[in-house]
Amino acid sequence: MSGSVWLPPGSRPDTLPGIPRQRTPSWAQPDPVDELAVRLEDFIAAAVHPDEIAALLESDGLSDDQIRQRYGVKNSFALAETLYERVERRYPEPDGPVHDPWRIGLLGCLLRGVVFALPGLAYVLGAPLFTGPGDFGLPAGTVPLLAGALCGWTWNQGLAHRAYAWLGLGDRTAARRALLLGAPAGALLGSLVALAFAGGAARTVVTFAAGQSCYLAAATVLLVMGRERFLLAALAPMATGAVLSLIDPLPEAASLALLLGSLVAVAALALREVAPALKDEAGWTAGLVALLPFGAFGTAPAHLRPAGPRLTGSLPYALFGLGTGVLVLYAALGDVLAGEEHGAVAAPAAVALTLSMGPAEWLLYRFRSDSLAGLRSSGTARDFRRTTALTVVQCLAAYLAALLALSLAVSALWPHSPVPGGVRLAGLLLLGVVLWTGLLLQSFGAVTGATAVCCAAALAQTVLLASRTGDPHLAGAAVYGTAALVQAVLVCALLGRATAHR
């Protein structure tokens, strides 16, 4: 055991014979998939779907043959699924504050709500003009005014959508052209509708209805172009005069001067806003191109015409304005249609609904902001659906609280108006659910469903009132409740999907 090591002939004492290495068994070698998972761990942990990993593998130049030889799986998608399963999900938080495109100030939305409601004070100054026989138990001049208003709401809703569509495409000039041609057309159409429903109403009623149509058209231009403050400034003298006339009636000449002054100011501001479109070399032809989907006839081949929003895409928005307008008018006329002595055309319910559109708009933005945060914080589809449902409930409850507070406040300030309660208040809140959920669906592009529900509800209530079926308040509450339930189902079905929040 202690002897020297035998060496073969010719070898030197300082060298040892080569000892053959034993080969490591395949089961003891590191798993190449695990090695790849470690190398790509950060990317894999942040992936939301295996296809992201497959795209990365293919971008690295790994072919299916190489993947089969190195990793023993069929192709890149199979390897991506394996990697996705082996690495735990870890979504990194962004550096710094997260950009939220839906964050908006409350004051601006409240201002829009006030701007929506202020024109109603014009009826206080114009009351001496409303003479003639009443129709359907309504005060003189009501029918042509309501007909012109409904026509204006319908037309201007569609026109506003078309202008917003051009703004969304980054073409502010085309939006101005569409408003330049569409606003006067809407004013003319509303005036003609009011004239058609005038019956035995005095000429002053038709004139006031024509001014109403012109105001709706001009205000649409200013609101679409984001000039709410200009519109508020133009309405301020008229609104101040109307409030003073409630305390001490103004002379008729002063009332007319305030009405005409505000109308001229709003029209001048609207014209100033679309004036750059008048300087365009194409002139009115360019306005027709912006308003219609196919452009001027024969100007260019179809494949060379610039792509623009489809005209039919604005039709559901116009019908949505018609349906919701009819529902709001029935809420305003509910007491009159029920034959109650204290009924008034400009009912506190309509004023409260109009003012509530400011908080409603802000809550729509708040929902979009919170749903975006829910997308970042939710780890599964079920968590996201739960978060979205909770956000809808919170925003809807906040809107109904604002509507309730406004309704009670306006009723308390309205002369000879009782505090709403019971069925009347329930109907108002259910109508608020219909309006807010309809606007919510519309903001996500699901305007067709909201339009169908609102128009069907308006038609159903019209039939019930025309046939004098039951109490008008009970009929209205039943219609609003059914429409609210249907739209709530649509909201849950649509907004529970993450892809709807892109």
Please give the average per-residue pLDDT across 382-396, as a whole number.
91
DSSP 311: G
Q: What is the pLDDT of residue 88?
A: 86
What is the pLDDT confidence band of residue 5, given thresholds at 50, 70 and 90?
Answer: very low
**Distances in whole angstroms, Cα of residue 43 to Cα of each of 7, 46, 80, 121, 277:** 58, 5, 12, 61, 50
What is the pLDDT confidence band of residue 218, given thresholds at 50, 70 and 90?
Answer: very high
Q: What is the pLDDT of residue 339?
A: 58
Please determine, for residue 18, whether its predicted confidence score (pLDDT) is greater than 60.
no
Q: At 146, list the tokens.
A: 């309501």
- The mean predicted confidence, pLDDT, of the chain is 83
CA–CA gap between residue 41 and residue 86 (Å, rounded): 10
What is the pLDDT confidence band of residue 300, given thresholds at 50, 70 and 90?
Answer: very low
Which helix (H) or strand (E) is 43 found in, with range? Answer: helix 41-46
User: Do the Cβ atoms of 464 and 427 come closer than 8 Å?
Assistant: no
Q: What is the pLDDT of residue 302?
A: 45
User: Do the Cβ atoms of 264 and 130 come closer than 8 Å?
Assistant: no
What is the pLDDT confidence band of residue 374, given thresholds at 50, 70 and 90?
Answer: confident
What is the per-residue pLDDT across 330-350, written as a single tens digit (0 to 9) for each? 888 766 665 555 455 446 888
Q: What is the pLDDT of residue 19?
A: 47
Please determine, for residue 308, whether its predicted confidence score (pLDDT) is greater than 80.
no
What is the per-residue pLDDT across 49-58, written as a single tens digit (0 to 9) for each? 889 889 988 8
What is the per-residue pLDDT across 87-121, written as a single tens digit (0 to 9) for each? 888 767 667 677 778 888 888 889 888 999 889 88
Q: What is the pLDDT of residue 294?
A: 39
Q: What is the pLDDT of residue 41?
A: 86
Residue 335, by phi and psi: left (phi above 0), alpha (psi -120 to 50) or beta?
alpha
What is the pLDDT confidence band of residue 423, given thresholds at 50, 70 and 90?
Answer: confident
Q: Beta-strand (E) ranges in 390-468?
A: none
What is the per-residue pLDDT across 479-491, written as a single tens digit (0 to 9) for each? 999 999 999 999 9
Residues 6+ apart with CB under 8 A from 437: 396, 450, 484, 487, 488, 490, 491
Please determine, for residue 321, whether its predicted confidence score (pLDDT) is greater than 90.
yes
Please give the average per-residue pLDDT across 311-323, as a whole number.
92
CA–CA gap between residue 92 and residue 42 (Å, rounded): 9
Instruction: Return the amino acid letter for 433.
Output: V
CA–CA gap between residue 309 and residue 307 (Å, rounded): 7
CA–CA gap between residue 54 and residue 45 (Å, rounded): 14
Calculate what percentage of the chain has a pLDDT beyond 70. 82
Q: What is the pLDDT of residue 262?
A: 94
Judged by average pLDDT, the poorest of 134-143, 188-197, 429-438 is 134-143
What is the per-residue pLDDT across 262-297, written as a single tens digit (0 to 9) for each? 999 999 999 999 988 877 655 455 555 555 543 333
Q: What is the pLDDT of residue 318?
A: 94
Instruction: Return the amino acid letter for 61.
Output: G
Give buried/exposed letters for 26-65 (b at 16+ CB in 10 A, else e). eeeeeeebeebbeebeeebeebeebeebbebbbeeebeee
Please determine, for residue 460, whether its predicted confidence score (pLDDT) is greater than 50.
yes
Residue 427, by phi and psi: left (phi above 0), alpha (psi -120 to 50) or beta?
alpha
Please determine, for residue 469, whether its predicted confidence score (pLDDT) is greater than 50.
yes
Please determine, for residue 170, whether its predicted confidence score (pLDDT) is greater than 50.
yes
Q: What is the pLDDT of residue 268?
A: 95
User: Do the Cβ atoms of 374 and 388 come closer than 8 Å?
Assistant: yes
Please determine, for residue 301, whether its predicted confidence score (pLDDT) is greater than 50.
no
What is the per-residue pLDDT across 130-158, written as a single tens digit (0 to 9) for each? 876 666 666 777 888 999 999 999 999 99
